[in-house]
């Protein structure tokens, strides 16, 4: 049984989810995206979605639950980044 490995991995996933919340807080505070590219966040969101299918397949229940947090937080950041990026481009078009 791989429960100890699952719990350790889940703790890393859970910590990642909470650390990623700093990005969400920052983008909400600044209301803009500067100096970062959306591609890495989108990639890790897709990887998190994969983990949501993969962890149950290898019977890692705790990692699955923690991975859901990572997917939700990353998805929120990507959505906010797209929204603020669109607003930036829309405001540039209005000023020309």
What does the alpha-carbon distance between residue 48 and residue 71 come to, in Å, rounded to a whole number? Answer: 5
The verdict on residue 75 lying in a domain is yes
pLDDT at 35: 83
pLDDT at 1: 59
**How far lies 66's CA from each of 16, 33, 76, 87, in Å?**
9, 26, 16, 32
What does the alpha-carbon distance between residue 37 and residue 79 come to, in Å, rounded to a whole number? Answer: 13
Predicted structure pTM score:
0.84
The verdict on residue 11 lying in a domain is yes
Which position has the token pair 């969400």? 24
pLDDT at 3: 87
The verdict on residue 38 lying in a domain is yes
Domain that holds residue 39: 3-91
Residue pLDDT, tens place only, 11-62 = 999 999 999 999 999 999 999 888 888 999 999 999 999 999 999 999 999 9
We report the CATH number of the domain holding residue 66 as 1.20.1280
Count of the separate structural domains present in the chain? 1
The verdict on residue 49 lying in a domain is yes
The verdict on residue 96 lying in a domain is no
Would you state the structure tokens that stand for residue 6, as one six-digit string? 């699952």
Q: Which residue stretches of the chain are H helix?
A: 3-30, 38-57, 61-95
What does the alpha-carbon distance between residue 28 and residue 47 come to, in Å, rounded to a whole number? Answer: 24
More confident residue, 48 or 93: 48
């Amino acid at each position: 049984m791989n429960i100890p490995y699952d719990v350790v991995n889940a703790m890393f996933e859970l910590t990642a989810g909470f650390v990623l919340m700093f990005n969400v807080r920052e983008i909400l505070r600044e209301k803009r995206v500067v100096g970062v590219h959306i591609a890495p966040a989108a990639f890790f969101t897709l990887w998190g979605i994969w983990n949501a299918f993969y962890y149950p397949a290898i019977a890692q229940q705790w990692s699955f639950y923690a991975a859901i947090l990572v997917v939700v937080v990353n998805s929120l950041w990507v959505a906010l980044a797209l929204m603020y990026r669109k607003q930036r481009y829309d405001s540039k078009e209005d000023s020309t």
